[in-house]
Structure 1
């Protein structure tokens, strides 16, 4: 059983309690948005006997499950904190504030407003499992610009907390409407790495699945994880956390499916070009047990 602890004491994927722990810092932009914390310099003028002068940042812990290998931040943000963190995501005010803490972010952010080229490779991998023109629901799909089969679907729906303008042909759907639909494919791509309780999110998706529906989950295969395949000693190497608060291994994703009572159909590791950089993603295709 995976619990919803605000300071994690158990694995977010398999529920295990064998966690390696190591101190880290929460990056200032996230700490400011979530907790209202700003970096501060402790000087001699503070008159603190037992603290050394220097910059002070928001402390946290890196945790790694010794069973499935998932690496994650110990803070599990509340709904209110998540809303604060992602308010106006990548709009002008968000970009300006983040660029203040991370000079150069505004240039990087310009790459996020176009369809990623690798989506075609995802479509090719998914196509043999689906009808020629599938009905698709994209959970957390934003505008739908990176939804698979954007131009080839029979119908395409997006469920997302944002109010961004949708791509032509995409229809917004509310949580109360999910179970009324009949979908060939439900997509949750580049979302689980951001959320405090991945299993809880997947369970929210379950009402949209019937016996024939396939669900595609995709997360980054983070450089730290793929650079140390199979390692259970990553906590000490992860010294800072930003908006990706969960770093998944393939095994961790499989454990997450099992916890949600989903059966693995297929999986892949895909090398992708993401705007200005090359990366990899882990994708799993599953259905109800």
Structure 2
């Protein structure tokens, strides 16, 4: 298991200690929510003889694993810090605070309450491997608005710490019953890029993955990774970090599965247009060995 240290010294996907590092900054919105840091202007009035004047931001490092290519922020936020960062997620306070630092975010907010169009293509990719009406567990599924097979399932359970109201037809998963329920599909989409220890998050899902269960993990295939395929020199190119604290290569996802004794079934690379930006998602389909 990855050491739970505040500053990473091993890869979050394969546990290698062969890491390249390069200095970067933590974006002000995240630094404020996590550490209570605001950008500060160092002026002559400070009377600091040996520091240059100018704006000071929260410093960090970009780390890239030289074994699997995973690129990630060196800070591994604690549970309390993660709770602070995602408090009132996309709510009134959260949006106002973020717009103060990032005025363009006002154009993003309306899209978060709409179902992503690309999910139809993901379902079409998965459907031939599943029953006509699958039993689905969506890990980190929020309200269920973007749950796979939301409108065509035998059951849809959602495990999410937010406690938000679920879409019609979805039920909140009971952690005590997950291991006793047969799921055809366990999904975790657009979650692992946010968390401090992605392997630990997937490990929590393992009791739900029985014989015949498929696991679908989806992360953004970030532009920096796509534009430099196979490169192990990405750390100097990643100068800032925001909410996505992990950038995954396909090899990194393969190593993550291997670490957890999961067998890779297939890989999906899918271009997406989510309304305010275009990109690509990287999906891996796996099953228990």
Which TM-score band applies after superposition, normalised by the shorter structure? Answer: over 0.9
- What's the secondary structure of 1:176's corresponding residue? coil
CA distance in 2, matches of 1:136, 1:214: 10
Structure 1 residue 126 corresponds to structure 2 residue 111: no
- Tell me the alpha carbon deviations over residues 115-160 of structure 1, each in whole angstroms, 9 at most, x when there is no partner: 0000000000001111111000000000111111111111101000
- Aligned residue for 1:37, secondary structure, equals coil
Runs of 4+ in 1 over 6 A off after TM superposition: none
Residue 40 of structure 2 corresponds to: 40
TM-score normalized with structure 2 length: 0.98
Partner of 1:244: 244
Q: Quote the residue 1:7 is aligned against.
A: 7
Structure-1 separation of matches of 2:31 and 2:210: 40
| 1:5 to partner: Cα distance | 2.2
Say which SS state the counterpart of residue 107 (structure 2) adopts: helix
Aligned to 2:2, the other structure's residue is in SS state coil
The answer (yes or no) to whether the contact 2:217–2:284 under 8 Å persists in 1 is yes
2:176 partner SS: helix
CA-to-aligned-CA distance 1:39-80 (integer Å, 9 cap, x gap): 001111111111111101000000000110000000000000
Q: Does 2:273 match 1:255?
A: no
Quote the Cα distance in structure 2 between the aligned partners of 1:5 and 1:174. Answer: 30
CA distance in 1, matches of 2:169, 2:42: 55
Q: In the comparison of the two structures, how many residue pairs are matched?
A: 289
Residues 3 and 12 in structure 1, CA contact (< 8 A), matched pair in contact too: no
What is the alpha-carbon root mean square deviation over aligned residues? 0.8
Alignment of 1:125-274 (within 5 A): 125-274=125-274
Tell me the TM-score normalised to structure 1 length. 0.98
CA contact (8 A) 1:10 1:19 kept: yes
Give the secondary-structure state (helix, strand or coil) at the position aligned to 1:175: coil
Following superposition, the deviation at residue 91 of structure 1 comes to 0.7
Alpha-carbon distance in 2 for matches of 1:129, 1:193:
26
Superposed CA offset, 1:211-253 (max 9, x none): 2111000000000110111110000000000000000000000
| CA distance in structure 1 between the aligned counterparts of 2:275 and 2:3, rounded to whole angstroms | 36
Question: Which residue does the alignment assign to 2:112?
Answer: 112
CA displacement 1:162-216 (0-9 Å, x = unmatched): 1221110000113333212210000000000000000000110101111211100
Q: Separation in 2 of the partners of 1:45 and 1:233? A: 40
CA contact (8 A) 2:107 2:276 kept: no
Give the 3-state SS of the residue equivalent to 1:253 in structure 2.
helix
Contact 1:269 1:281 in 2 (8 A): yes
2: distance between equivalents of 1:177 and 1:143?
20
For residues 9 and 60 of structure 1, what CA distance do their matches in structure 2 show?
A: 14
Q: Does 1:61 align with 2:76?
A: no
Q: CA deviation at 1:104?
A: 2.0
Alpha-carbon contact 1:221-1:280 (below 8 Å) kept: yes
